[in-house]
Chains A and B, each alone.
Chain A
Amino acid sequence: MTVTAPKAARARTLIVDCDIHESMSSIAELVPYLAPEWRLWFGQDSKPRVPPIHPYVLTQGGVRHDAQRSDGTTGGNHLDQVQWQHLDTYGITYGVLMGNWAFGAMPQARFAAGLASAYNDWLIEGWLEKDQRLLGSVSVAPQVPQLAAREIDRVGGHPQMVQVGLSIAPSGAPWGDERNDPIWEAAVRNHLRVGFHVQPPTGVQGAPTAWGWPGSYLELRSVFTTIFETQLISLVCNGVFEKFADLKVVLVEGGFAWVPGAMWRMDSSWKSVRSEVPWLRRRPSEYVREQVRFTTQPMEEPPEPRFLNQLIDMLGSDELLMFASDYPHWDFDDPRRALPPTLGDELRRKLFWSNAAAFYGLSEPDAET
């Protein structure tokens, strides 16, 4: 006798998953969407070279083993698999597709911008327009911020586009540098948030640390938080949140245990040397609490569950964290298990739904649909 695996019970809770990875099985999928001038650049032999991938081998695999397919593709390549294996199984109310930020690593910036445009059209046609639960990130090539702004203006008005998707590793100058202002300006103009996702830097993004390349993926994954910390501090200290008061950003897959310490340290320095950055009119931590959010995955797993509650207390607000699964990547977090019961029902509800609903401006879907 054969039975099918038991399906999850219907969701009892509303869930926004702030990190789902749609992806192309091959860059060739973009060709029909590419402007003719860029097709000329796209000789057969150049396809495997773009977009550049990071140089680390993941011994555990990059994708959940149970989301890999025998034809070499993965769950993230197929809308139907994202639906049955993830959205339907867990009753995800809305899922944010993170887009593709690898274009930001390419030295040929204008070609990269052309690829990002094609990717956005591919995303809208093949994903967003086929499932209303899916929300999109506008992919851009931030190497030329003005071109990125133009792309944000082109597709940012799509009703399911909710944010601009960027790598936490900047394409040159730190994210707080004023040359990046056109990106924030365009995001605000289009009522979009900005999502910064973890990425092992590559190409023009430089090395993952100021001192070069970690020698193992374990080391790399452990220092990712430092990339987030430097870039958050750069955004705050360069006054980006003061200049763009309506800008709201989310740091995705960068953890949050480091955030209280970063806020305390910035506040402490600000008390002493704020005349150096007089454009900061408030304590640095206030900008973070009002304009920055963090996703849960990979969930911090302290040895004592109560430490997690303490950590959230230390953030100074229970509205900063939003649930993310990272489907279909190898370190996927299961919404039924990732948030421990010790957090309590009210806090879990905030992490699963209300914090992200407020951040992205989402409302509960009609019961009949």
Chain B
Amino acid sequence: MQYLCRADELPDGTMKSFLVGRIRVVAIHAGGTFAVLRDACPHQGAPLSGGRLTGTMLPSGFGEYHLARVGEVLRCPWHAWEFDIHTGRSLHDPECDRVKAYDVAIVEGAVYIEGLSGPTAAVVEVA
């Protein structure tokens, strides 16, 4: 398991980008659960961490809107594709358009992930 950050570095409803070795990931805190995704949209490579944690509308009858999954959907900053933060699968084509989701473990207040290793650093966009 690879240490990523302390859990309290990620308040509920926020996300943060990290470099683990040469791979950039985004860690997300949604209502007490944590998710980590590859921080690159499979469409054009945008850093998903620059997007928005949001909800989505469930399939419904014409003219009805049922907002659900608030905080569990990550929307890409470019083109607004929606991804399930827990599975990395897109909502529009879960089979084909998906981003790698890592297994996460919280141990003694720290966030660990499986499947990656290497020096870890928080990524800050140049502003």
Contacts and interface: CB of A to CB of B under 8 A. Distances in A.
Contacts of A337: 43-45
A298 to B, nearest CB: 8
Contacts of B122: 1-3
Given A4-B125, A65-B52, 6 more contacts: A1-B122, A2-B124, A3-B124, A5-B125, A65-B75, A331-B78
Given A3-B19, A3-B123, A84-B126, A66 B80 contact: no
A331 B46 CA distance: 11
Interface string A1-40: 1111101000000000000000000000000000000000
B44 A333 contact: yes
Interface string A320-362: 0000000000111110111000000000000000000000000
Nearest to A334: B44
Contacts of B79: 330-332
A49 B123 CA distance: 41
Nearest to B63: A215
Contacts of B52: 61, 65
Interface of A is mostly: loop
Interface of B: 17, 19, 43-47, 50-52, 75, 77-80, 119-126
A46 interface: no
Nearest to B78: A332
Interface of A: 1-5, 7, 60-61, 64-67, 84, 330-334, 336-338
A330 B123 contact: no
Contacts, number: 64
Contact of B44 (A2, A5, A330, A338): A338
A359 B109 CA distance: 60
B124 A4 contact: yes
Contacts of A84: 126
A367 B124 CA distance: 32
Most chain A CB neighbours (cut-off 10 Å) among B75, B77, B121: B77
Nearest to B17: A5
Contacts of A2: 121-124
B47 A5 contact: yes
Nearest to B81: A60
26 contacts: A1-B119, A1-B121, A1-B122, A3-B19, A3-B121, A3-B122, A4-B123, A5-B17, A5-B47, A60-B75, A61-B80, A64-B50, A64-B77, A65-B50, A65-B52, A65-B77, A66-B47, A66-B50, A66-B78, A330-B80, A331-B79, A331-B80, A334-B45, A337-B43, A337-B44, A337-B45
